Amino acid sequence: MSERQTAARSHPGLDRTAGVTGALTYALVGLLPVVTDIPMSSLWWVLWAVGLPLFVVDVLVDLSPRTARLLVLPMMLLGTALYAVEPLYGFGGVPMVITAASAGLVLPLPTALGVVAVQSAALLTLGYGALSDGGLLGALFYVGLQVFAVMTGQITQRESRARERLAQVHASLREAHAELEAAQARLAETSRTEERLRISRDLHDLVGHQLSALALNLEVASHVVDGPAAEQVHRSRQLAKELLADVRQVVGRLREDGPDVRGALERMAAQIPRPVVHLDLPDELTVPSTPVRDALVRGVQEALTNAVRHSGAGSAWVGVRHTGEGLEVVVRDDGAGADPLRPGNGLTGMRERIEAVGGTVEVDGSDGFRVRLVVPAEVVAPPPDAAGPSATAAPTADREVAR
């Protein structure tokens, strides 16, 4: 990618304006003799006509670095030939100045100054032959303009490279910030889940066991107490049983409640500055189990991380809907995509996570980046290594509560 392309990306309009100005300036060199009736040789007109498309392509078309550098040589030869044919024409050195500016944009400084040296030697040699008519002074004038054009091109080249490096650093910082925000969200969600589990254990171990003991004591008391007190003992025993059932229900709910998928996706979208993430979520977003919820949220996160890192997208869309296959999630963006697509560690981990809970993954990079995740509507028991401690804790708790 050429320095001129970099400048155009960094400052839209700057590079295009400079290119149009250069093309118009070269065209003006051929227009002035027509307007002012300056007689020019046929050879000069042929050379000018040959150079017109060459100079226009060089200053207006986004070229590869190699092509832009190679064009400097024919431009230099053509500009020198135009001046050699008509050294007395006052604007004859303008093509050399345009060549010097182009060399300053695409060549290293020593090479660009070498181009200026060759053109200046031609200018001074030819101008000296027309000394009586002021040709030497005109030649010196164009030598100065060439040096100025080269230095201006070099400054523009360095500024463009600095902007490109700054843009890369900014993109890296933005990516790191998005990943940090996502990690903080995961940590907060994990902390909330662990706190729910701790509370459920405390309720079961402390309140649940004490209520069980109270119910047993009341049952024993109901067999040894007679009269009006027996009715009160019986009523207290029923209340203890109902309270124990309520505690068991709360414990089960605390263990079953996983992360809020809607909230997790909304937080994830809000934490990514670019691409802008658009969510399309159903009113009732239900996920069958905690492992499925975790896999789903991590899958969406990996797809969006890929958009941040690689695609250069401006917008991304996350759509969730219930289908006959289960819960379908489609993440797509308007970035560059990749065809053929070579999955890295992130996409491989996403596929393993989704398949561990019985889901499927489809990835397409032909038109932007698109990921389709489908997780089952019913609970599918994952393998022990995929389930993790959070998946194995719930059944244990259910057995404890049911005791």
| pTM tops 0.85, yes or no | no
Measure the CA–CA gap between 253 and 78, rounded to whole angstroms. 83
In this prediction, residue 54 has a pLDDT band, given cuts at 50, 70 and 90, of: confident
Give 240 or 384, the one with higher predicted confidence.
Answer: 240
User: Which tens digits make up the pLDDT trace of 348-364?
Assistant: 888 888 888 888 988 88
Question: Crossing angle, helix 65-85 and helix 109-129, to 10 degrees?
Answer: 10
Length of the chain counted residue by residue = 403
User: Which tens digits make up the pLDDT trace of 381-399?
Assistant: 444 444 333 333 333 333 3
Structure tokens at 255: 């263990």
Structure tokens at 328: 């379908």
Q: Which of 15-24, 34-43, 64-73, 389-398 has the lowest mean pLDDT?
A: 389-398
User: Which tens digits make up the pLDDT trace of 122-180?
Assistant: 888 876 655 445 556 777 888 888 999 899 888 888 888 888 888 888 877 877 776 77
Sequence ranges of the chain with CATH classification 3.30.565.10: 258-388
User: Which tens digits make up the pLDDT trace of 262-312?
Assistant: 888 888 888 777 788 899 888 877 776 778 888 888 888 888 887 777 777
Structure tokens at 220: 């024993």
Q: Please list the alpha-helical segments (H only) found in 203-259.
A: 209-224, 228-256
Q: Which of 58-62, 149-153, 342-346 has the lowest mean pLDDT?
A: 342-346
**pLDDT score at 395:** 35
Percent of the chain with pLDDT over 70: 82
Which CATH topology does 258-388 take? Heat Shock Protein 90 (3.30.565)
